[in-house]
Amino acid sequence: MRSVCLAFTFAFLTFAQTPNDQAQRQNLNNCLKGVSSCDLGSLTPAHLAQLSEVSRKRNVDKCREGSSGCDPSRLSPEEVRSVDLAAKARNLEKCLLGSPACKPLQLSRADLEKVAAEERRKNFERCLSSSALCNTLELTAEQVASVDTSRRRTNLEKCMTGAAACNPLMLTSAEAQSVRAERNRANLTKCMAGALPCNPLKLTPAEQEKVNAEYNRRNFSNCKAGLPTCDRLALTSAENNTVQASFRQRNLENCKNGLANCDPSILSGPDLAAVSASYRDRTLGKKPH
């Protein structure tokens, strides 16, 4: 019952507002929002005081944000100090990020040390990554040693993978030996697979023998399959007989299937009978029942 009464009272008061009251409320809202249609002359002293406080806080916020709408002349001494601290904090952040908007002359001695330390850290990272922006003159002796170790490690990795950026002059005697061994191993793998660039001159006699054996095995398999990469001259007599047997079997299947690459001249009597039977089966299968 009480809630019903309150709702009725609120509705009555709202309805009871005159058009003039509504206009004053709208004007106050416009003034508080900073709208140009604000009519200061129609505000009550209480509303003027409220408007002044809102305007003052808005100005303080803009000044703290570094906004162009800030009016420093309206700030109190305490607000000036607060705005100055905010401006210094923003400038310090820009300087730490290396922004061109940084104003180093506005930094305190402590902040200058922070910015310098951050720049040294970034420079050290650039040097570790071999960046062209690295300034080795700004490195400490310990950092120089770390950078040298990192660059030698990176160079060794490049040399081990055969990268063009490898600098053999930076390798120690042991590293150079490891690189040669790795490149010889990689060359052997390529030669075994028949891939380029295989360098036969880098193979030992034992490795050359393994490569030749693998080549013969692969060639024998290609010849049995009738592949164009077959090298008949590299086959032994026994291998050649096996290849011919495979060819005859493959030719028989081609003829039985009616393929254009069938060579009937090498078919035996039983082969011809099998081809004829296959032809009849294909022909009968096409006839309607």
143 vs 152: CA distance, rounded Å: 14
Least confident of 47-56, 122-131, 166-175, 220-229: 47-56
Mean pLDDT for 175-181 is: 96
Is 262 a member of any domain?
no
- Running DSSP on this structure, what letter comes out for residue 103? -
**147: number of Cβ within 10 Å:** 19
Calculate what percentage of the chain has a pLDDT beyond 70: 88
Which segment of 60-74, 83-97, 274-288 scores lowest on mean pLDDT? 274-288
Please give the Cα distance from 156 to 89 (Å, whole number): 45
**The pLDDT of residue 138:** 94
Last residue of a domain, which of 42, 73, 95?
95
Q: Assess whether 90 and 119 both reside in one domain.
A: no
Q: Are residues 24 and 91 in the same domain?
A: yes
Q: How many domains does the chain have?
A: 2
- Judge whether residue 134 has pLDDT over 90: yes
Give the CA radius of gyration of the chain. Answer: 46
What's the Cα-to-Cα distance from 123 to each of 104, 128, 147, 252, rounded to whole Å? 18, 9, 11, 75
pLDDT at position 42? 66
Q: Is 86 domain-assigned?
A: yes
* Position 61 in a domain: yes
Q: Quick check: 134 and 126 in contact, CB under 8 A?
A: yes
CB atoms within 10 A of CB 263: 12
Q: What is the pLDDT of residue 131?
A: 93
Q: Which of 25-34, 162-171, 217-226 has the lowest mean pLDDT?
A: 25-34
Residues 156 and 112 in one domain: yes
pLDDT tens digit sequence for 30-86: 777 776 678 766 677 777 777 778 888 888 898 988 888 898 888 888 988 999 899
Residue 54's pLDDT is 86
Which residues constitute the domain of residue 85? 20-95
The dihedrals phi and psi of 37, each to the nearest 5 degrees, come to: -80, 10
Q: Is the peptide bond before 197 cis (omega within 30 degrees of 0)?
A: yes
Place of tokens 């078919």: 267
Dump the DSSP string for 165-176: T--GGG--HHHH
**Under 8 Å between Cβ of 92 and 114:** yes
